[in-house]
Amino acid sequence: MSLLVRAFERDDDLAAVLALDSEFETDHEFIVHQTPDRLALVRVRLPEPRRKRFPLDPSAEPWTHGHVAIEDGRIQGFIATTVETWNSRLTIRHFYVDREARGRGIGRALMETALTEGREAGALTAWAETSNRNYPGVRAYAALGFALCGFDLSLYVGTSAEGEFALYLARDIRR
């Protein structure tokens, strides 16, 4: 396996990034138990596995830095980030590894590249958002040093992800 991480080149890379298979299968998701004075995030087992695919559109959100991971001549992953100067935060806008290429270190290589670039730009923390249904993604972020830090029950209202809610993950990148 030869792995190369390089800057995203829109004209050359967009079609391959759009062709990445973002589908995942999960047998867990997160729910929120709510009382008048308490919110609790709880992981629950689903009665049967569920599949989901995230729509890939690198132009959907603003981002300033993008990278692709190329393995054996084929784009297998993509990460896009922005450094928020007001709070010294690296925001992960997109992070995808092709379904067939997962578990081979591609995501780790992409994330380490992004974290290094963010650190060099003055970021102190990294932050990401995903769906409560993306339990495999939460586990992948945890393996990369991220921890759950919050959620938003209303972020996806009126979108194609209606019925889901946003989970936020963060990690210190000063080290």
Instruction: Give how far Cα 63 sits from Cα of 13, 21, 37, 86, Å.
Output: 16, 21, 37, 16
pLDDT computed for residue 60 by the predictor: 73
When computed from its CA atoms, the radius of gyration of the chain, rounded to whole angstroms, is 16
* CATH number assigned to the domain comprising residue 25: 3.40.630.30
For the chain, the first-to-last Cα distance in angstroms comes to 29
Provide the domain limits for residue 60.
3-172
* pTM, entire model: 0.94
Question: Alpha-carbon distance 43 to 84, whole Å?
Answer: 30
pLDDT computed for residue 1 by the predictor: 63
Residues 6+ apart with CB under 8 A from 12: none
Q: What share of the chain is helix, strand, coil (3-state, %, to 5)?
A: 20, 45, 35
Torsion of CA 117, 122, 125, 129, to 10 degrees: -60
In tens digits, the chain (175 residues) has pLDDT values of: 699 999 999 999 999 999 999 999 999 999 999 999 999 999 999 999 999 998 887 777 789 999 999 999 999 999 999 999 999 999 999 999 999 999 999 999 999 999 999 999 999 999 999 999 999 999 999 999 999 999 999 999 999 999 999 999 999 999 7
pLDDT computed for residue 62 by the predictor: 83
> In the chain, how many domains are there?
1
Place of tokens 């992981």: 43
